[in-house]
Amino acid sequence: MSLLNMAAQLFINKLGGNGNDLDQSSVASALQNLLPTQGGELDLGALISLFTENGAGLASLASTWLGSGDNAAISPATILELLGSDQVAAFASKLGLGQETAAEGLAETIPELIDSNSEDGALAMGDMAKGMLGKLF
């Protein structure tokens, strides 16, 4: 399963009853327009960079998702600030959701997605290689 499809399914699951009418392909398409991608696939390295380059203490937050301990929570308000409220609103609109519901789903999805695709404080090698190759070419 691609990272984008994994993220879409995770987002739907995190919404619970609010996600009952969503299908994976429409969520994947909306996520592709919201989150950083490389070659049509979700770029977790670039997503983490959004947190580490923000300078608002979010690097330590993201490091908990990469590590083996408990994941620190991120607030929906921080998601709106980081990704842009207009972009999250457009994402939500494409899915027929309210902006707050979408932000809450993203706030639960992103940490788990990064955590499940990292080991010992680093992203899975395939993701790092894709990101590095994308920057070289």
Q: What is the CATH number of the domain that holds 33?
A: 1.10.10.690
**What is the residue type of 84?**
G
Select from 116, 132, 107, 105 the least CA-distant residue to 45.
132
Render each residue's pLDDT in the chain as its tens digit; 137 residues: 789 999 999 999 999 988 889 999 999 999 999 999 999 899 998 998 888 887 667 888 888 888 777 888 899 999 999 999 999 999 999 999 999 999 999 999 999 999 888 876 567 645 444 443 344 33
- Domains identified in the chain, total number: 1
- Full-model pTM: 0.84
Q: Any long-range contacts for 128-133 (C-beta under 8 Å, 24+ apart)?
A: 128/45, 130/38, 130/39, 130/41, 130/43, 130/45, 131/38, 131/43, 131/44, 131/45, 131/46
Which domain, by its residues, includes 121? Answer: 3-136
Asked if 74 and 111 touch (Cβ cutoff 8 Å), the reply is yes
Asked if 88 and 80 touch (Cβ cutoff 8 Å), the reply is yes
What would the two tokens of residue 54 be?
A: 């923000």
125 to 17, 84, 92, 136: CA distances (angstroms) = 35, 29, 31, 16
Phi–psi pair at 65, nearest 5 degrees? -75, -30
Instruction: Identify the pLDDT of residue 52.
Output: 82
Asked if 66 and 114 touch (Cβ cutoff 8 Å), the reply is yes
Grouping H, G, I as helix, E, B as strand and the rest as coil, residue 38 is strand
